[in-house]
Amino acid sequence: MDLSGWIDTYLDHLRVERGLSKNTLEAYALDLNQLAARVGEGARAEAVTEGDIAELLVWNTRRGYGARSSARQLSAVRGFFKFLMREKVVASDPCALIERPRLGRRLPKALGLEDVLRIVDKPDLSTARGLRDAAMLHLLYACGLRVTELCTLKLGDLDRQRGVVSVHGKGGKRRLVPVGEIALGLVDRYLEHVRPQWERASGSSRALFLTPRGPMTRQGFWKLIKRYARAAGVTLPVSPHKMRHSFATHLLQGGAALRAVQAMLGHADLGTTEIYTRIAQDHVRAAYKRSHPRA
C-alpha cells in the first residue's frame, strides 16, 4: 500500500477508534495529504524521510503558514507515523528529531459582560425565529458550548427537570453542564411555541434546534450570531467560540473554581483551562487599582 492508502487507513482509524469529529478529520486529511503531495504520487510510507517533512514545513512557511498551523501539521504527521510504527509499516519515526515550532501563549479574547448581554437580548421574542435565536444564544453563553455541540444537541440531551444538558464533546466524550434559569426558560418557550410547527414543516424529530427546513447548521448559526452582534452595536469581532471564552472568563471573574470550569468546558487537560485565569487576574488587578487608596 502506498502513502496515500495508509493515510486513508489512518483517517478511518481516527474516525472509528477515536471518534474524532468530521471537522477534525478534515484538518488531519488536509495536513497529511499535503505531505503525500510533496513526497510524490505512489510514494511508499517507509520512504518518507526527516528531510521530506522538514521541506514540507519550510514550504508551508513560505506559503504564509504561521507557527501554530505548522505545529498542528507536525502533530498530525507525528500521530500518523506513530500509527505506522504500531502497524509495523515503518521501523522509525522520521519526525523524531524535528523540533516543534515555538508558540507564544496566546490569551483567548473574551467579550465584556455588557457586550454579551446586548447580543443575547437582541432577538425579537415576539417572532418564532427570534425566540429560537434567543434560546440558542442564551444556551451557548449559559453553558459555554462549542458551536458544533450546540447545533448537534438532541431533544433528549436537555433534562429540564434537573436543569442540565448532556453535551456530546470532542472525542465522543459526554459531559453534563448546568443550564441557567433564563436560558432554560427561553428553551422551554421555544419548545412549546416554535419547534412543533417547524418539526412538522421540516420532518426532523430529533434535533433540538430547527429551522423551517431542518436542523440548524454551524454555518447558519455563525451568520446568526454575527448579525445580532452588528445589530447590538458590538464593534469587536464576535464568534460562537468567543462566547465560549467569555463564559469561562466571566465564571472565573465571579469566583468559580478552576476545576469546575474545566469540567463545564470539557477540557481534558487543566492547563488548557488555566489560560483563562490570566484574564481573570487582570480583572482583579484592575479592580485593585481602581479601589485601593495606595494603588
Cβ–Cβ < 8 Å for 131, 189: yes
Q: What are the φ and ψ backbone dihedral angles of 154, each rounded to 5 degrees?
A: -105, 165
Co-location of 146 and 256 in the same domain: yes
The Cα 260–Cα 245 span in angstroms is: 15
SS3 readout for 139-169 = HHHHHCCCHHHHHCCEHHHEECCCCEEEEEC
Residue 195 lies in a domain: yes
Note down pLDDT in tens along the chain; length 295 residues. Answer: 889 999 999 999 998 888 888 888 998 999 899 988 888 878 888 888 888 888 888 888 887 777 778 888 888 999 999 999 999 999 888 888 887 766 555 666 788 999 999 999 999 999 999 999 999 999 999 999 999 999 999 999 999 889 999 998 877 788 899 999 999 999 999 999 999 999 887 776 789 999 999 999 999 999 999 999 999 999 999 999 899 889 988 888 888 888 888 888 887 777 666 666 665 555 545 544 555 465 4
Co-location of 65 and 152 in the same domain: no
The Cα 16–Cα 5 span in angstroms is: 17
Co-location of 80 and 121 in the same domain: no
Cβ–Cβ < 8 Å for 249, 281: no
Strand partners, 175: 167
The Cα 280–Cα 112 span in angstroms is: 12
Predicted structure pTM score: 0.63
Query: Among all residues, which ones are annotated catalytic?
Result: 146, 170, 241, 244, 267, 276
| Full residue range of the structural domain in which residue 77 is found | 3-86
Co-location of 268 and 215 in the same domain: yes
Residue 226 lies in a domain: yes
The Cα 34–Cα 60 span in angstroms is: 9
Element (H, E) at 211: strand 210-211
